[in-house]
Amino acid sequence: MAPTVAAEKITYGDLYSRWEQGNWRATEIDFSVDREQWHRDLDEIQRRSALWTYSMFFHGEDSVTDNLSPFIDAAPREEHKYFLATQQADEARHAVLFARFMDEVVGAGSDTATALARTDTHLTWGFRHVFARLDTIASELRRDRSLPKLAQAITLYHLVVEATLAQPGQHFIEESLRQRGLLPGLREGIAHVSRDEQRHIAFGVKMLSELVREDPGCVTAIGDLLRELLPYTTSVFVPPGLDERYVTSFGFTLEQVHTRGAESLDGRLRAAGIDPTTLRVGLPFDLPPEERARRGLTLVRAGYLGERLDGVTPDAEATALLFDGLRRTVDATQAPGATVQWDFTDAEPWHLRLDGEAASVGPGRLEHPDLVLRCRFEDWLDIVAGRVDPWRALLRGRIRPRGKLRMLVRAPKLFA
Ligand SMILES: [Fe+2]
Ligand SMILES: [Fe+2]
């Protein structure tokens, strides 16, 4: 894997000195105009939207502050440790900025734990899953300082949380508030946060490029992590009740935010010297980011991904996208020539065929499938969306397999 110009161009020394030059004070931001505007100038839906988005930033900054220390211990070089120590100070400052906003503008309380508890209700299902995984990966990193584990942790922290989720959010918040002349204090704070995040992401990309060069096992580990996270990351920025006014009331669309996130992940992986099309994540990295965003949102709007909704009915386009995503995660070399049939009790059947190097999927029945999975369509969705553990679903009889059951034993390798 050739080192990329993007990650090579910048040095750890540059990143550190940019931190010294960029220092700012979260305690000196003036929120007095924000407080007046919050009650006077924002309409009801804008206030709800802002509270929803900023609560996720508040909790996110709190979580990344708490979870960075094992990264410092596991980082192999002194330059990594010094930079990560500056980053931890930044994250604390970001958390303080949002804590002040929640206290002085929203009135959620001056005690941070209280304000966190009072804003907890705004966190989305996807958000909770992504940050729960950040907690567990930080614990794993305390016990396992191997390069693949560190590469997974950096991927989750710097590429998923910071580059894919936070940075697009900051961009749209800053832009929409600027156009409307709203919340000048928060805007000033977020401009600082954005600059800090750019530095953090640049560090993450650089470090990841070194890790994948030193240990090729890191690429497999990164693919495994992104695949596991995909149903959750797609569901983070999904408004309550799928009410898109939470986004459009500030002048942008879910498509724009998700496209920017898709673009960011792809660009950062490539800058780290990783070809995302080889990761078997399930995302069509061969298609433009707009299309990746559109597909993710189609699955969310159909109720296929995200929090469980009652009464989801099969939708032809969403089902085709779901199986296309599955096809992209399959390692066809694990069982060449094998076929799998989904026999849904309440929806049309689908199948998967491993043709040598690649996999293909389609609706309908095969003549002699090697493995048949019989279940309700919704039960299958629960597995794909990461709501239910697949082995648990098998044990409980929600999925009834027949045929060559040894393929199930190999399923973790096959479907990863
Ligand atoms: Fe931050
Ligand atoms: Fe950060």
Cα(135) to centroid of ligand 2, in Å? Answer: 15
Quick one: which of 362, 360, 356 has its CA closest to 334? 356
User: Helix (H) and strand (E) counts for the chain?
Assistant: 20, 5
Tell whether 336 and 275 lie within a shared domain.
no
Residue 315 in domain: no
Residue 347, amino acid = A
Per the domain annotation, does 149 fall within a domain? yes
The CATH number linked to 361 is 3.30.1050.10
Rg value, the chain, Cα: 22
The per-residue pLDDT for 413 is: 62
- pTM for the structure as a whole: 0.95
Domain co-membership, 332 together with 214 = no
Question: What's the gap in Å between 192 CA and the centre of ligand 1?
Answer: 10
Contact partners, residue 209, CB within 8 Å, separation at least 6 = 3, 4, 7, 8, 271, 272, 273
Q: Are residues 236 and 177 in the same domain?
A: yes
19 and 91 fall within a common domain: yes
Ligand nearest to the CA of 87: 2
Cβ atoms < 10 Å from Cβ of 59: 20
Same domain, residue pair 351 and 284: no
The CA 26 to ligand 2 mean position distance, Å, reads 15
Ligand nearest to the CA of 83: 2
- Are residues 224 and 333 both part of a single domain? no
The answer to whether position 11 is within a domain reads yes
Mean pLDDT, consecutive 10-residue stretches, the chain (416 aa), reads: 62 96 97 98 96 98 98 97 98 98 97 98 98 98 98 98 96 95 98 97 97 96 96 96 95 96 97 94 92 97 94 94 93 86 96 88 95 95 93 91 83 62
C-alpha 196 – ligand 1 centre gap (Å): 7
In a domain, 393, yes or no: yes
Pair 289, 355 in one domain: no
Select from 19, 7, 201 the least CA-distant residue to 93.
Answer: 19
Q: Are residues 26 and 136 in the same domain?
A: yes
**CA 200 to centroid of ligand 2, rounded, Å:** 5
Q: Show Cβ contacts of residue 21 under 8 Å, excluding neighbours closer than 6 positions.
A: none
Q: Which two tokens stand for residue 24?
A: 């700012």
Rounded to the nearest angstrom, the distance between the alpha carbon of 63 and the centre of ligand 1 is: 9
The CATH number of residue 167's host domain is 1.10.620.20
Ligand nearest to the CA of 84: 2
Residue 108 placed within a domain: yes
Q: Are residues 235 and 364 in the same domain?
A: no
**Predicted confidence (pLDDT) per residue in 254-283, tens digit:** 999 999 999 999 999 999 999 999 998 989
User: Which ligand sits nearest to residue 201's alpha carbon?
Assistant: 2
In a domain, 286, yes or no: yes
Looking at the structure, do residues 76 and 133 belong to the same domain, yes or no? yes
Instruction: Give the domain range for residue 378.
Output: 323-414
Given this model, what pLDDT does residue 414 score?
A: 63
Which of 260, 256, 262, 373 shows the shortest CA–CA distance to 323?
A: 373
Q: Is residue 307 part of a domain?
A: no
Q: Let me know if residue 318 belongs to a domain.
A: no
**Residue 269: both structure tokens together:** 């992986």
Burial of 300 (0-12, 13-18, 19+ CB in 10 A): buried
